[in-house]
Structure 1
């Protein structure tokens, strides 16, 4: 399903505006739910460190394991129906917690099940929405559209925790989860208002009698065949591995070794949010002027090199160096993420969009907890600074692999031409 060029501004494109509203509502719902679930476990069920961290792990584990299978589902079902069903289930699953608490029957198995099911639905929705965007917006406008959607999602990521904290403080965890459930219900209504044409299945179908393994492998084959995309995904996995280790040690390192006051630590996190917003603003212009492939290569190097600023803070002025890290890393990874998603949507055939997105999401997700757990374990034996240096080396080497020579025959497909020209069509202004 190819969307013809459209000269209307994106802000007047009703289906796209609906997707923006959905991204904000869904992001707020997820942030409130994550905070309220963890606080409920700690305050009501007296959770220890392991039990609390298990809730967070269960929200990510399904995405790492099940994303390729979710991609197959997205490619085979009616897309709008799937989006509405998944968000409606989110509302019911999250809403079951305050109901159980009101009845006095809240238990650990219930919380763990909610975390796992909610995580599964969240990452299925992520794949489905990546697949929906090319059916709503013409190819020449995907870069701009992904930038705006990232901005809408970031609004929820920044405001959601603050709203969740206020709600918990004023009303308690139960009412806060009711609000989170309501946010998912709003998301479902917004998605229901999307064009019915989204329920039209993609033209490309798997041949009759295709084995389940071959159906699943079809998305992986696209990623492996398109070498720029393949390299970007692998480099992203390495960057996530290194940054996952750094993120796991960041608070401990800055508090105990750098003796950073809590207000300065908070400012470094706020700086990252500001850098993310800046990345959203410049991503479209950066990608159009340099091409998506070149933009991601530059951002890979910047993100990798930025990691060295964290261990360097132990030898220099800590606060300015950490601010510099958050600015450079936040800006680079935001442009990287937008460019990767756009390139993926431009390359993947219509009937394989979900599977390509599913494999990419699985690879990028699984490396974060691996890096965090590995970094934490090694830091106990080697110390924080050596592990932070090693994580920066891994991230930089991963970004540098994008600059390795690539034979002309490996640059086939749509990736390189589209990055330099198609973004400058009349609708991309």
Structure 2
């Protein structure tokens, strides 16, 4: 990978015929897919160890799940700062190796009878913390390894595999627990992380280390810089606000939704699983659409319209009544549509964020937006439970779904809605380096993004 000084001279090179001919991208994609499978398999298997092997009660299981989610709130901003200090390859392989070793140790301890709830709490928190670092790093890695014109297709491929892992991982974990045992099933997660480690470790292209000259004591300052960058950017600020509104409302809705299906609609466990699984195929379709629609209709139009349709369709849920022969197909259709357009929003937002963020801020921008959105999910879940107790399940679903619609509204009222078919450039890149096409694109400072060249 060339240095920043050679980026301008390389900007005129033509793109390779296919993204998949890039061996480093293939290694990243394979590793990221394996890592996501390991993560989502462990999300099912580790709680099952607590329930089936350690006889955990509901309170202990709730504490276990909370510990697994806590690193998102506690460590996202720190992870962003560290990703901007180190090569993303280094962060990802370290996270993979750490998770494989921790899970392998848990298996050995369980077989020897030495794994108790306190030790499992440590395992869950450690795996969650390392997953935060991996997830921030892989988002920044695409920008450092690929060219700007490859970002949309690359994110579509990566997010498509992540959606597959979100559906296939829990199913695989549950099947392995049924066929073998919960402790032995943990081996599958460890093997996935080990495979990811081996694949990503083979990435050959060297990337710059934007913040390597910073000293460790400046991590706090780096976090503040990342927060200020996101807050001050006219596109990233509404992304953060829209994400916060969506994640808070969606968490509230899911709390009521998981009670609404069995209690109000009288659906069986099998039917509930079928209904929820419809989001997975929808997300795969959304990933495929995200590779084509923004460059045809414009990033802003696709983003706002997809968010409006995907979030708006959830307003149909509280209106459902009748026998399961009616409600089950209706819920499958709603969740499929939500999966399609929700994933289209996810990929489009990620591409826009990567395109307008300077290389030195990629990790912190991704972490700050994750912190702003996912950090509110515990509060949203509590709010949903409070509303359900006082107002009833249908009213809670209606309020939460209406709250989700705030997300596309915030984006529609922001500069995001005016983005065209060309991706914007980072603010801090001189316009003279962009080339003729970029200079004609608009009023933003434009230029060849040195982090995206080979």
Kept in 2: contact 1:244–1:369 (CA 8 A): yes
- The aligned residue for residue 65 of structure 1 is 74
In the alignment, is residue 244 of structure 1 matched against residue 255 of structure 2?
no
Residue by residue over 1:215-270, the C-alpha shift from the partner in whole angstroms, topping out at 9 and shown as x without a partner, is 21211222122212211221121111111112122222111111124443233222
- The aligned residue for residue 343 of structure 1 is 352
In the alignment, is residue 414 of structure 1 matched against residue 419 of structure 2?
no
In the alignment, is residue 201 of structure 1 matched against residue 209 of structure 2?
yes
Q: Specify every segment of 5 or more residues in structure 1 that has no aligned partner in the other structure, as ranges.
A: none
Q: CA deviation at 1:196?
A: 4.8
Secondary structure of 2:84's counterpart equals helix
Q: Which deviates further from its counterpart, 323-332 or 3-12?
A: 3-12
Superposed, which structure 2 residues align to 1:23-422 within 5 Å? Answer: 23-198=32-207, 200-202=208-210, 212-314=219-321, 317-404=326-413, 414=425
Q: CA deviation at 1:321?
A: 3.3
Secondary structure of 1:308's counterpart equals helix
Kept in 2: contact 1:206–1:215 (CA 8 A): no
CA distance in structure 1 between the aligned counterparts of 2:384 and 2:148, rounded to whole angstroms: 40
Structure 2-normalised TM-score?
Answer: 0.85
> Cα RMSD over matched residues?
2.9
Q: CA deviation at 1:360?
A: 0.9
Identify the structure with the greater helix proportion.
1
Kept in 1: contact 2:91–2:133 (CA 8 A): no
Kept in 1: contact 2:243–2:369 (CA 8 A): no
Structure 1-normalised TM-score?
Answer: 0.90
Change (3 A) 1:408 1:83: closer
CA distance in structure 2 between the aligned counterparts of 1:286 and 1:408, rounded to whole angstroms: 15
CA distance in structure 1 between the aligned counterparts of 2:348 and 2:237, rounded to whole angstroms: 14
Residue by residue over 1:158-204, the C-alpha shift from the partner in whole angstroms, topping out at 9 and shown as x without a partner, is 22222222221222112111121111111111111012503x313x6
Kept in 2: contact 1:313–1:319 (CA 8 A): no
Kept in 1: contact 2:72–2:132 (CA 8 A): yes
Q: CA deviation at 1:211?
A: 5.1
CA distance in structure 2 between the aligned counterparts of 1:82 and 1:262, rounded to whole angstroms: 39
Q: Which deviates further from its counterpart, 399-408 or 375-384?
A: 399-408
Change (3 A) 1:52 1:17: same
CA distance in structure 1 between the aligned counterparts of 2:312 and 2:416, rounded to whole angstroms: 26
